[in-house]
Amino acid sequence: MNLRIEEGQTVLDLKHQFADKYEGLKIELFKKSHDDGESSDAKMRVFGTEAIENLVSVSLPVVIEIHKEMTVAEVEEAFEKQAGLHVQVFRKMRNIWIETVQTDGYSLEHQMQLSHNSTAS
């Protein structure tokens, strides 16, 4: 998947692009980065109406290539390095969203399977 980030987009637009492709997963953006294996400070979360151009540290447009075989850590690093965006991946477990901090080494595909299995009856 090529995730295109361009002027005029909001955080919500970017979140929808990701969630539409990776069922049971979502991204949240934060004002500050988090260390490996650490969760992000909820007070630093960026809300949906924020303009992307106010958050990136590079010239737009930017295209980030993401594949389901990539680990969560690789995806978060791609956002950080290619766009300067501080992203955390979340996985839906039953009816709640959890940060994937403990499973950052799992692929997006594996994360999606875990989400699906949690809601299957």
Indicate the pLDDT class of residue 54, thresholds 50, 70 and 90.
very high
* pLDDT score at 41: 64
Q: Can you tell me the distance from the alpha carbon of 85 to that of 101, in angstroms, rounded to the nearest whole number?
A: 17
State yes or no: pLDDT of 121 exceeds 60. no
Indicate the pLDDT class of residue 45, thresholds 50, 70 and 90.
confident
Q: Stretch 5-25: mean pLDDT, rounded?
A: 97
